[in-house]
Amino acid sequence: MKISEATGCNGVAAMHDECATVLVPLAEKAPQRLRRGAMKRLTGLALALIVLVALPGAAQAQSGGDLKFVLLFAGCEGDPGRIVLTGAIAGVGADIPLGFRQNPDGTFAFESLMLLADGTLRITGDGRIESFEVDPRTEVARFSFTGSFEIVEGTGALEGASGSGTFGGQGVRVPDDRCPSGARVFQVSRASGAVAFVGPTAA
């Protein structure tokens, strides 16, 4: 699977600037009762983002084995997210969207590049929207999803990497006219699988 274009706005700098200041403007769009709960959840997400940005980004590759990662995203569709990997590859970095396609039946396909200090991983995958509920008063949408991914290429210290696994997650879409799609997304994804190395890293 190769998807040529990403949708939405792009830019690594936006991950630090926009996502650090978006909590108050978004919360003001909701009634006070809903706002309190939303602020607690969004503040927790913001604190997690601050921790991830502060963590070292070096990737440590072993000879292969189990792999887990968490993707934390807050921004316009197409913006980069933050990724934390543990297991056979350990490190913190950025997840750069390369393409996304959603079908009318709720399935989707994607391609992304995990950018780590010592190399990159190119990921492709397919999934399905499991739930999607919109609050008619605030137009805030909550959704969940599941799917599978494949590691199709590695570079640098991760050259020769290949593997696969499954993922699941949930998120919130909040109306925001500053985003091309008209909404800002807050999303957490968790994935697990296995990775192997063929080439210099495996030695």
Q: What is the pLDDT of residues 40-91, one digit of tens each?
A: 555 455 444 444 444 444 455 556 899 999 999 999 988 999 999 999 999 9
- Express each pLDDT in 153-202 by its tens digit: 999 999 999 999 999 999 999 999 999 999 999 999 999 999 998 765 44
Determine the Cα–Cα distance for residues 167 and 145; give it in Å rounded to an integer: 8
Query: What is the tens place of the pLDDT at every residue in 91-131?
Result: 999 999 999 999 999 999 999 999 999 899 999 999 999 99
Find out whether 77 and 171 touch, Cβ atoms under 8 Å: no
pLDDT at residue 20 tops 80 = no
Amino acid at 103: N
Q: What is the pTM of this model?
A: 0.70
Greater confidence (162 vs 34) lies with 162
Tokens of 92: 């913190």
C-alpha torsion 125→158→76→181, nearest 10: -40
Q: How far is CA 68 from the centre of its chain?
A: 13
How far is it, in rounded angstroms, from Cα 132 to Cα 108? 14
Distance of alpha carbon 82 from alpha carbon 95, whole angstroms: 6
Q: Where are the beta strands (DSSP E) in the chain?
A: 60-61, 64-76, 81-87, 89-102, 107-116, 119-134, 141-156, 161-175, 183-197
Whole-number Cα distances in Å, 3 to 37, 80, 113: 37, 17, 12
Can you give the pLDDT at residue 25? 34
